[in-house]
Amino acid sequence: MERFTFIASCIFGLESVTAGELRRIGAEDVRAFDGRVEFSGGEEMLARANLHLRTAERVLVKLGEFPAATFTELFDGVKSLPLERFIGKKDAFPVKGHTVKSALHSIPDCQKIVKKAAVDRLSSVYGVNWFEETGPVHPLQFLIIKDRAILSMDTSGAPLHKRGYRKNSLIAPIKETLAAGILDLSRVKGDSLLYDPFCGSGTFLIEGALRALRIPPGINRRFGAQDYACFSKDIWRKERERGIEEVNREGTFRAYGSDISGDAVALTRENAKKAGVSSRIIAEQKDIGQFLMPEKGMVVCNPPYGERLLDQNSARKLYTEMGKRFSYGDGKSLSIITPDEAFEEYFGHKASKKRKLYNGMIRCVLYLYF
């Protein structure tokens, strides 16, 4: 059986969580790097990773790694890779990428060189010097770190945080992949009770339910590589069937959300319905001032940020209110993510553990209390 090296790109700070997910789905040679996890397996692993990973942004096939301190090295490195194994005569192969701490730092120039080398390689194999690029899109991605290049090909298409259940909204929603990572770190299980008193569009509640019921996050969407001729079409059907068999609705998981905004509550309900988990989620309109800490369960939330939804003073007043209402220990835990580094001061409790995570470009801290 042909084996491949794959890359799961992920949010900075979640690499160990993504690596854990990969081990649980049977990936081999799992190795974490900054913002990505490499692993290996057969082509079925490609479909499995796309369907099952809750915290990965994309799954890519690693085509090769080589020194690239100069444009000549970059060109020769790309040209030496067996691109024709993956890219057909009519396929489109746009190039994107980035460079970090490397002599080659102009991204547009690197893009041009990678494209030229790929065209050169494929021209000599297919005997043409003009590519129509009218077929399925096979995006090539380069990453040059400290003068070494990695060339890979995307297989996800739309990024994996797009599960297909969330409507765009004016609320500042947390990314689904980040929410899933926080829920993993909070150890949500099939019988957990989850509370989010700032539920917004319901991301924590829905991701929590999908995780608790073992519903694959990608079950309702398509992936770019489903259209690729280089992989068997059968892997997608088989892995979807396998994923559906693993769903387990026996646990007693329940999620309770509230938000000061009636529109947010309506959105949570609508999104939960689309995700197929509305029977596990209750959402109501409520100010944090009315929140009563349950006897057991976990609170997971991202309260409004100073810079995005509320001015900093009002946000900090909310943290003080939360500090009075929330409690932890004895079957209760709290996971709160915010970019406010003075959070503990206003909340009034020192975290049991802290973890740096990125919400888009915003550096945040996850405060864990247990």
CB of 304 to ligand SAM, least distance (A): 4
Size of the residue set binding ligand SAM (CB under 6 A): 20
Give the residue carrying structure tokens 């980035």. Answer: 98
- Closer by beta carbon to ligand SAM, 229 or else 310: 310
Edge to edge, the sheet with strand 353-359 lists: 281-285, 254-259, 193-196, 297-301, 332-338, 362-369, 353-359
Out of 43, 239, 259, 340, name the contact with ligand SAM by CB under 6 A. Answer: 259
CA distances from 69 to 77, 106, 144, 152, 176 (A): 11, 12, 9, 18, 37
Helices (H), 89-220: 107-126, 176-185, 203-212
- Closer by beta carbon to ligand SAM, 155 or else 302: 302
* 273-292 residues near ligand SAM, rule: CB under 6 A: 287-288
Contact 289/278 with Cβ under 8 angstroms?
A: no
Q: How many CB atoms lie within 10 A of CB 318?
A: 20
CB of 219 to ligand SAM, least distance (A): 20
CB of 53 to ligand SAM, least distance (A): 19
- Closer by beta carbon to ligand SAM, 36 or else 166: 166
CA distances from 338 to 17, 313, 356 (A): 19, 14, 10
Q: At what angle do helices 15-24 and 176-185 cross, to 10 degrees?
A: 80
CB of 301 to ligand SAM, least distance (A): 7
CB of 259 to ligand SAM, least distance (A): 5
CB of 102 to ligand SAM, least distance (A): 36
Q: How many CB atoms lie within 10 A of CB 328?
A: 18
* 182-201 residues near ligand SAM, rule: CB under 6 A: 197-198, 200-201
Out of 50, 55, 186, 203, name the contact with ligand SAM by CB under 6 A. Answer: 203
Out of 139, 224, 243, 304, name the contact with ligand SAM by CB under 6 A. Answer: 304
171 lies in the binding site for ligand SAM (CB under 6 A) = yes
Out of 35, 139, 173, 218, name the contact with ligand SAM by CB under 6 A. Answer: 173
- Closer by beta carbon to ligand SAM, 197 or else 243: 197
Annotate 158-168 with b (16+ C-beta within 10 A) or e (fewer): eebbebebbee
Which two three-digit tokens encode residue 65? 């790694």
Give the residue carrying structure tokens 């040679």. Answer: 29
CB of 194 to ligand SAM, least distance (A): 12
- Closer by beta carbon to ligand SAM, 91 or else 259: 259
Which two three-digit tokens encode residue 44? 């079925």
CB of 44 to ligand SAM, least distance (A): 32
Per-residue contact string for residues 308-337; x = within reach of ligand SAM by CB under 6 A: -x--------x-------------------
Phi and psi for 31 in degrees, rounded to 5?
Answer: -135, 125
Interface residues with ligand SAM (CB under 6 A) are 171-174, 197-198, 200-201, 203-204, 259-261, 264, 287-288, 302, 304, 309, 318
